[in-house]
Structure 1
Amino acid sequence: MNRRLLVSLSALAAFVVFAAAVFLYQRHTLQVAAFVASEQAGAMVRPHSPVIGIADAPVTIVEFFDPACEACKAFHPQVKQILVAFPREARLVIRYTPFHRESSVEAVKILEAARAQGKFEPMLEALLDGQRAWTGQGTRAIDRAWAIAQSAGLDVERARKHIAKGSVDVMLAQDVVDLKAIGVRATPTFFVNGKPLSSTDPGRLYDLVKSEVERVGKSP
């Protein structure tokens, strides 16, 4: 056996070992996530959580979501398509995950003020569409977020009064406690009926929801 072939076989063997290790690690991580989700089922959905879709849908998609997160914005069209595909079977529950700190917190406050005015979904779309304009730290970024919100129909004066009551701060603090208990470390993180999404591929989210819709449809 010549040296070049030996080196090639050694490299191939090393790659196979590496690939197997990655697979086992990912499987273990998914198993741990599923276990933690079952142990923290009460922390997965709270009464205060925004819901898109019918309230009694048998399939619940929980998204740990940061409005300032580019990946959350990228996933959002797929999430909407899933809700259109399964209008009576699936609902989306949003848990706020303010990993981008000041900009995230301000956007959450705007979203909750909009929800109080019955404008949550249009405001969510507006903030995601204009995400690049308002993400970042400082007063200027915050002002841009509020300008987008006002253009999307938010009554800013009512919104600021709603935020001043402090209920949004309490809600956000609970969401942060819950995401830490569940072990969420990145956004978006999805669970479908408590089952964690194992991939960053939006298509896999559709597959997971579809399998849950089919499963609950077969239940007696």
Structure 2
Amino acid sequence: MNRRTIVAIVAAVAVIGFGIAGYSYTNRPKEAPVAPPQESSTLVRPHSPVLGPADARVTIVEFFDPSCEACRAFYPIVKEIMARYPQDVRVVLRYAPFHDGSDEAVRILETARMQNLFVPVLEALLTQQSEWAPHDGPQLDKAWAAAGVAGLDVAKAKEERLAPHIMATLNLDVADGKSVGVSGTPTFFVNGKPLPNFGTDELKKLVDDEVAAVR
């Protein structure tokens, strides 16, 4: 089964998952700040957003692109893994903006992080991805609108979107991705190990094996 077929299957499942899990962002309370990791390496940097316990012994590093259909498709799978191992697994997100307009979507996410709204805005962008990132070109006004519905202070975020630390995060993530051979998204590493083959079962198995090894 090739990568395109896998992505198509996962995407179909993801559409159902997003539909079942849909909820109103407008009334969602603000989240706690996304914790940064403490160590620094080519895969994990101090600025990287972390989902899950910061001291988890198994780390999934995902290089992702907010415009990427496969990244959207894998998001429910990653959440499922985290739910299965709530104390053992954390996810470190790195940006790999390959698509046109994805660098602006990254800036939206980073301004959301400054407002402690990273996860709601991330999920809003993924849910509305087909609206703001169609195949014929990005419509970033719709991405900003989706972020606003998720609670983002859009006016403030647009003032901060070109802040030096946001640009530095974006540039370093792109450089690190190149140095570890990231050529497509999503690209996963589990405790530093790449997937032997691309697929949901391969990701789940590698995580299962690493959790078993540390317990």
TM-score normalised by the shorter chain: which range applies? 0.7 to 0.9
Structure 1 residues 91 and 117, CA gap change in structure 2 (3 angstroms): same
Residues 118-157 of structure 1: matches in 2 within 5 Å?
Answer: 118-135=116-133, 141-157=139-155
Superposed CA offset, 1:64-97 (max 9, x none)? 1001000111111100000000011000000100
Q: Secondary structure at the match of 2:212?
A: helix
Structure whose alpha-carbon radius of gyration is higher: 1
Letter in 2 for 1:61: I
In 1, Cα distance between the equivalents of 2:105 and 2:163?
17
Is the Cα contact below 8 Å between 2:53 and 2:87 reproduced in 1?
yes
- Give, in angstroms, the shift of residue 161 of structure 1: 2.4
Is the Cα contact below 8 Å between 2:49 and 2:93 reproduced in 1?
yes
Q: How many residues align?
A: 176
Q: Secondary structure at the match of 1:92?
A: strand
TM-score normalised by L of structure 2: 0.78
What is the match of residue 167 of structure 1? 165
| Unaligned runs of at least 5 residues, structure 2 | 1-39
Normalized per residue, the structure richer in helix is 1
What is the match of residue 186 of structure 2? 188
Superposed CA offset, 1:136-177 (max 9, x none)? 599970111111111111001221222232321111000111
In 2, Cα distance between the equivalents of 1:44 and 1:173?
14
In 2, Cα distance between the equivalents of 1:184 and 1:216?
27
Residues 57-68 of structure 1: matches in 2 within 5 Å?
Answer: 57-68=56-67
In 1, Cα distance between the equivalents of 2:137 and 2:197?
36
Q: Secondary structure at the match of 1:93?
A: strand
- Give, in angstroms, the shift of residue 51 of structure 1: 0.5
Residues 41-120 of structure 1: matches in 2 within 5 Å?
Answer: 42-101=41-100, 103-120=101-118
Alpha-carbon RMSD: 1.7
